[in-house]
Structure formats: structure tokens, C-alpha cells
Structure 1
Amino acid sequence: MKGNDLRLGLGVGAYRFFDTTEGGAGPAFQNHHGIKPLLSLSAQYPLPGGAVEAFIRVNRTFGSGLPQTQAFLVGISLPFTPRDPGMRRDAPAPRNPRGVPSDPDHELTIFLGRTILNSFESEATELLGATAIEYRRRLEGHFDVSIGYFDEGGLDSVRRDGIAPQIWFSQRSADGRWMIGFGAGPYFSRDFPAEDRRNAGSSVTIRTSTRYSMVIGRHIRGHWAGRLQWNRTLTRYHRDTDVLMVGLAYQW
């Protein structure tokens, strides 16, 4: 084992959990959310060639109440900003490769996907039953902002559409072709009554929820890029959803 080939890590942070439980006297299920302390231990070691690293990680939650979880992960990692061996770790990465627009600040994306209700049955829309359009603006450093309109599709137990502004922490690869990001913000939605409530004359309800999102993108050609995005809506009325989407983005 040479010099700094093996890297060990210790991390402490917060674990945001989403838990679906039995409903008791109320609905058939309930969605509970919370935050617990999280402790992580990790080890990383480069595989032959040095471009890819193998890692092992153990995550353990602490604190009172349920859920208490422990996870053991094994995988490989690929550096998002590969550099020459002689370059310092904090040296700036090369930018603006041929075939990729020069640091586009604006992006408009059309999404199609599926909505899954966080219940014991995991009711879902048709494969392309959810739609969205989103505008993203790149800020300084690793931050973006976005605003999007989402139609979650037609589930009898949750029929929703609305506006979701978000702030993102994102990272782009050195060659500009890949990007990953995590976003969070409010979700202002119209909640349409379920089928049984529609028959009883119930009206549309305006609600404010929280939405978390993760995205991975790949430059295709010219101004065009592909997107895979996961959106989690957290509600106070036990109608949490996952919206899984694929999108086509135009950048300028």
C-alpha cells in the first residue's frame, strides 16, 4: 500500500427520513417525516489505472424513536473532475471542451414520467402519466435556481398539479458533459378531490408542501442535453409522492 492510496473518512450529519406507517383510526396509511443524527464511516481505494475508486461505507442513525437504521454500502466511484496526476487537488478544472456550449446559464426542460404514491400499495400513474416544464438559471459557483410547473397525473387518491421553485447545489464535470444536482424548495399545488369526494361536490384545495429533487444530466449535442430527475413531495396530509421523470433540455 503506497502513501495516500487508501483514504479513510468519518462523517457526522443529518438524516432526513420518510416513513409510511399504518393509519390507525384515520386513513389506511400515514406519511411521517423527521430528522435524525447520522454517523458514517468510509474507506476508499483506487483500482488499477487510478480512474475509478472502490469504496465501503457504513451509515448508522441515532436518536430516540423509530426508525433506527444501519446501512452497509459497497460500490465504485468515478471522479467528476478528473485531473492530471501532477495537478493540485484544488487546481481549477479545464472548461469549454469542443462540442459543448460555453458555460450555458439558462436551461428549459420538458419532462415526462410517472408518479408513485407513498402508500402500502404504491399506486402509480401510467408510465408517462406525469408531465412538467422547468426553467433553470445557473448562478455563481455550484448553485442554480429553477422554477417548474408539474402535473402529477391521474391517481384517484391524489390528483395534483402546481408550481415548484427550487434552489440547487450542483456539480458539472470538467468536460462539461455531465452534471448532478440536489434541489429543495416549496411546492404550491392544487389538490383535486378524489373520485368519491368529487361525487360529493368537494372543491379544489390550494396547499403548500415541501419538495426535494435530485437530477443527473448528460450533454447530447449542441444546445441539447438529457435529464433524469427524481422529485419527492412531502405533505402534511399523508399524500407524499415520488415523481420519476426523464427530460430533454435546451441550453443557452
Structure 2
Amino acid sequence: MTRDSVNTRYKFLALPLVFVSCLAQAQDASLLAGGMRLDQDKDDTSFAVALGYTHHINKYVSVSADYLNEGHPRQHHRDGLGSQLWLHTAFPTRGWSVAAGFGPYYYFDTNTGNGTLADYRNDHGWGQLMSVSLKYHLASSAYLETRLSHTHGITSHDTTMLLFGAGYELRNLPRGIRLQNAERGDKLLMLLAGRSIVNSLASETAASYGLEYRRTVNPNVEWSVILMSEGKVDAAERKGVSGQVWLLRPFTERTVLEMGFGAYAMRDQLDRKDPKAERENHVAPIASIGMRYRISDSLRAQLTWSRVITSYERDSDVFMLGAGVAF
């Protein structure tokens, strides 16, 4: 795969997720966990986790944005972002519903490039995600779910996942409450700290730090600039600045769910032990999922996960916990 084709695919990565989020606000959120199996090697199994946001177009059709972690089978660490169109029975106030979904899946696969743990690579590409689901709806606006999902059309391996979990139907909060969390013209300044994890098979970690400035466009959209240091991992060190656009959905009166996508301009030193090694400049896509909590009129707390998507085998996950002021 050439660098140009990889970069082109990065650009298209945002399209299904932005389309899902812009179509209308998500109507429920779900968290599922279970196990996965490689279709090519049925003895190779691992864990699996799925996080989903779903909007109901009508009582028989829905569309979702999904994050999947397909676990750690032998010589592979893979996860991805998908979007599915669902056909389902009408949702009862209390009782059962069934559904089937299908859509595109953009995966991130860390694997052994030449068969050794030290020589890894980060592969990215498109596949298909298909699912069948059985839900039991509770009177409390929550539901229990069993889901069977399958990834297909991926070069390295197809997988089948059996997942169990729960979801919660999001309420349409009054405009006044939504404006307390995000009103046009609001500004946020956040101090961030957490951990960065290199997407290698050894998953090296380091302390990460950041300073974030945000500006609210409307109660559903924000933009941000983040100065970030991913810390020092073995002989490597990376820092830079990212700009992202965020789509927001109120979860409770004080909590907002967030999805962001943008670009990350970074300066990377891959070998600090070599005095002759030059620092490299790169620009890479960055995708984020987060949650923000309104402590008071002026204080906010925030938790975010960001995926840095590189073209030179240096993907990373950055988990940040932040606190700051609104002004």
C-alpha cells in the first residue's frame, strides 16, 4: 500500500462517522463485551469489546457508529471504527426486539511484520461489519443485549464475536440544560494528563500531558486546539499540536458525550540514543471519543481517548483526564 493510498483512506475514515453523527443526535449508547474467534483458526480466541451510538430513523430503521476492540489473538492486536445500518422490529416499552445490521469497518491492525514481536507494523484498511442483535427492553429506558458480529473482507483475518451487555436510551434534555453544558461562544481551558500507549505488540506506555483550548460553535459542535506530549517510550519521544472538530450529545443533565476528528502535527524523535538521529515532522489524522462533566458553572472535568493514525508504523492511543475552567 502506497503512502498516497493510505492518506486517501485516512480522509475517508471520517465520512461514515461524521455522517452518522450529523444525521441527528444519537438516541442510545451501549457497551458490550465478550469473546472473539478467528475464522481461519478456530482455536485462536481472545476478548472483544464494543461501544456504540445509535440513532433511530424510524421504528424499523436505525444507524449506528461503533468502536470495536477485537482483542489480542496470536500476533495481532486489532480494533476499528464502523458504521452500520440496522433493520429491526419495533421497540416495545418492555419486551424483546431483534435486529440485523451491515456497514463499512475501518480497522487498525498491529501485527508482526516479519514474524517477530520487535518488528511490528500498523496496518489500516477497509472491511465489512455485519451483526445480528437480540435486545430485552426494560421499563427504565435501558435494555440488555446479546449481539453476534462478524468482520469480513480484511486481508489478515476475519473474526466472529459474541457480545453481551447493556444500553441506555438517551433523553432529549431541555434546551436550557443543554446550553449550561455547551452554549455558543463558550470557551474552555483544560489541563490534561494521562498515559500514551504505542500500538506495538509490546504496548509500551509513557506519561502524557496536554493543554487544551475549546470553543463552542453550538450545543452540538465544538472545535479544539491541543498542545500534547506523548512522553518518552524507550528511545522514542513525540509531541505536537492537534486541531479537532467535536460532535456533542448530552447524556445526563451534567454529562456530555463527545466524538472528535482532526489532524495532529507532530515532531517525532524515534531514536534519542543516537546523537545523529534527526527529529521527524509528520501530520497524521487523530480520532477521539470522550465524556465531559459539568462540576459547576465554571468548572469542568473531562476524560478522552484519542487514536493517532500514522503512516510510518507509529500509531498510538492517548488516554487523558483533564480539569479546567469555562469562561
Q: 2:205 aligned with 1:114, yes or no? A: no
Letter in 2 for 1:18: F
* Alpha-carbon distance between aligned partners in 2 of 1:124 and 1:173, rounded to the nearest angstrom: 31
Moved more, 210-219 or 36-45: 36-45
Counterpart residue number, 1:55: 145
* Alpha-carbon distance between aligned partners in 1 of 2:91 and 2:203, rounded to the nearest angstrom: 49
8 Å Cα contact 2:126/2:154 also seen in 1:
no
Q: CA deviation at 1:186?
A: 1.4
8 Å Cα contact 1:96/1:103 also seen in 2:
no
Letter in 2 for 1:137: R
* Alpha-carbon distance between aligned partners in 2 of 1:134 and 1:102, rounded to the nearest angstrom: 16
Residues 95 and 152 of structure 1: CA distance in aligned 2, closer, same or farther (over 3 Å): same
8 Å Cα contact 2:237/2:272 also seen in 1:
no
* Alpha-carbon distance between aligned partners in 2 of 1:30 and 1:248, rounded to the nearest angstrom: 35
Q: 2:313 aligned with 1:223, yes or no? A: no
1:1-252 alignment runs, 5 A limit = 4=92, 5=94, 6-24=96-114, 28-47=119-138, 49-81=139-171, 93-97=173-177, 100=180, 103=183, 105-125=186-206, 129-140=207-218, 142-173=220-251, 175=253, 177-197=254-274, 199=275, 201-252=276-327
Letter in 1 for 2:210: A
Q: CA deviation at 1:147?
A: 1.6
Residues 52 and 64 of structure 1: CA distance in aligned 2, closer, same or farther (over 3 Å): closer
Residues 3 and 145 of structure 1: CA distance in aligned 2, closer, same or farther (over 3 Å): closer
8 Å Cα contact 1:115/1:152 also seen in 2:
yes
Taking CA–CA contacts closer than 8 Å with sequence separation of 6 or more, which of the two structures ends up with the larger relative contact order? 1
* Alpha-carbon distance between aligned partners in 2 of 1:164 and 1:243, rounded to the nearest angstrom: 13
8 Å Cα contact 1:94/1:174 also seen in 2:
no
* Alpha-carbon distance between aligned partners in 1 of 2:154 and 2:245, rounded to the nearest angstrom: 31
Counterpart residue number, 2:31: none
Letter in 2 for 1:31: N
Q: CA deviation at 1:102?
A: 7.0
* Alpha-carbon distance between aligned partners in 1 of 2:233 and 2:226, rounded to the nearest angstrom: 21
* Alpha-carbon distance between aligned partners in 2 of 1:205 and 1:139, rounded to the nearest angstrom: 34
8 Å Cα contact 1:158/1:239 also seen in 2:
no
| 1:36-74 deviation per Cα after TM superposition (whole angstroms, max 9, x unaligned) | 111122233222x42322122222112152231222221
| 1:221-251 deviation per Cα after TM superposition (whole angstroms, max 9, x unaligned) | 2211211111111111111111111111322
* Alpha-carbon distance between aligned partners in 1 of 2:170 and 2:324, rounded to the nearest angstrom: 21
Pairwise CA RMSD of aligned residues?
2.6
> TM-score, normalized by length of structure 2?
0.65
- The structure that is helix-richer by fraction is 2
Identity in percent: 27
8 Å Cα contact 2:150/2:161 also seen in 1:
yes
Q: CA deviation at 1:165?
A: 0.9
* Alpha-carbon distance between aligned partners in 1 of 2:221 and 2:277, rounded to the nearest angstrom: 41
What SS does the corresponding residue of 2:153 show, helix, strand or coil? coil
* Alpha-carbon distance between aligned partners in 1 of 2:217 and 2:157, rounded to the nearest angstrom: 37
* Alpha-carbon distance between aligned partners in 1 of 2:321 and 2:190, rounded to the nearest angstrom: 10
Question: Which runs of 5 or more structure 1 residues have no equivalent in the other structure?
Answer: 82-91
Residues 77 and 101 of structure 1: CA distance in aligned 2, closer, same or farther (over 3 Å): closer
User: Matched residue pairs, number?
Assistant: 234
* Alpha-carbon distance between aligned partners in 1 of 2:255 and 2:182, rounded to the nearest angstrom: 14
* Alpha-carbon distance between aligned partners in 2 of 1:231 and 1:147, rounded to the nearest angstrom: 14
Residues 65 and 96 of structure 1: CA distance in aligned 2, closer, same or farther (over 3 Å): same
Q: CA deviation at 1:32?
A: 0.8
Residues 120 and 25 of structure 1: CA distance in aligned 2, closer, same or farther (over 3 Å): closer
* Alpha-carbon distance between aligned partners in 2 of 1:64 and 1:193, rounded to the nearest angstrom: 30
Q: CA deviation at 1:149?
A: 1.1
What SS does the corresponding residue of 1:96 show, helix, strand or coil? helix
